[in-house]
Amino acid sequence: MTRLGIVGGAGRMGQALAHELAKEADFEVVSLVDVNEPASLATARWYSSIEELSGPDVDVIIDFSVPEVTRSVLQWCLANNVALVCGTTGISADEIASWEKEIVSSNGHVLFSPNFSLGAVLAQRFAAQAAPYFERVEIIELHHDRKIDAPSGTSIAAANMIGDARRKAGLSAQIDPTQHETLDHARGALGAEGVRIHSVRLPGLVAHQEILLAGPGEGLTIRHDSYDRVSFVAGVALAVRAVTSRAGLTVGLNELI
């Protein structure tokens, strides 16, 4: 039985994960850590800070909270020899890379993924496979209206994977034909290798992404939709089951599927 603690346990993701992971026969959700009291505790106990937790009481910490908290969660996990699965977004790639030395020197086990939806991970993989065969690529990411970071971590990761694939194929960075933006930011954010990312925030959405590839006379759109937060549960379960046997830092689910 793997005992789980969830940081951000009162949040939308924390509550969905607590509810869904408790259904798995090999998981027990024992702790919910959040500054706010969770609406539903089920079999877990509520802690208002990770420092109140006792290391021997949990096997894996799952963090879906806010970026300002993730650093202290990482340090607590390394100090207490507890594995960490982190899905909090809004943390820069440089900061995540800077964790690696500390994780390795502490013999830690950490898996960070900006997206735990298996469909989203596969969509990125397919886009990277297609990218060398098309002249241009742009990304539209669409999320609910309470998301506090933009563009999404998933779209940045997708642009990086597409950029890598284009570079490896010997393609040069995309040049934007736009010479004048009549309104600021009309062409969206500039991702890796000139891949433009456009962010939409609307009520009713969960997490959606379109990767648009185009070449002479044809286009290919790879679209993924998360209709419900339950779409992230299978990936989190996969990560929890894998993290303790993967020493150091793992970024993304690519190596797991």
Minimum distance from residue 121 beta carbon to ligand NAD (Å): 9
Nearer to ligand NAD, 141 or 193 (CB): 141
Residues contributing to the site for ligand NAD (CB under 6 A): 7-8, 10-14, 33-36, 64-66, 69, 87-90, 113-116, 232
Tell me the C-alpha distance between 146 and 52, whole Å. 29
Owner of token pair 């208002």: 48
Question: Amino acid identity of 248?
Answer: G
- Least distance (Å) between residue 73 CB and ligand NAD: 8
Whose Cβ is closer to ligand NAD: residue 29's or residue 33's?
Answer: 33
Sequence-ordered list of residues with C-beta below 8 angstroms from that of 1, at least 6 positions apart, any chain = 26, 27, 28
For ligand NAD, give the closer residue by CB, 65 or 209: 65
The residues annotated with a catalytic role in the active site are 143, 147
Residue 70 Cβ vs ligand NAD, minimum distance, rounded to whole Å: 9
Taking the complex as a whole, the smallest distance from the CB of residue 211 to ligand NAD amounts, in Å, to 17
Distance CA 243, CA 72 (A): 19
Measured from the CB atom, the residue of 154 and 174 that comes closer to ligand NAD is: 154
Cβ–Cβ under 8 Å, residues 64 and 6: yes
Distance of closest approach, residue 86 Cβ to ligand NAD, in angstroms: 8
The edge-to-edge listing of strands for the beta sheet with 248-251 is 45-47, 27-33, 2-7, 60-63, 83-86, 109-112, 248-251
Residue 155 and residue 139 in contact, taking contact as beta carbons nearer than 8 Å: yes
User: For residues 189 and 184, what is the distance between their CA atoms, to the nearest angstrom?
Assistant: 11
| Amino acid symbol at 222 | I
For ligand NAD, which is the closer residue by CB, 11 or 151?
A: 11
In this structure, which amino acid lies at residue 221?
T
Max alpha carbon distance in the chain (Å)? Answer: 61
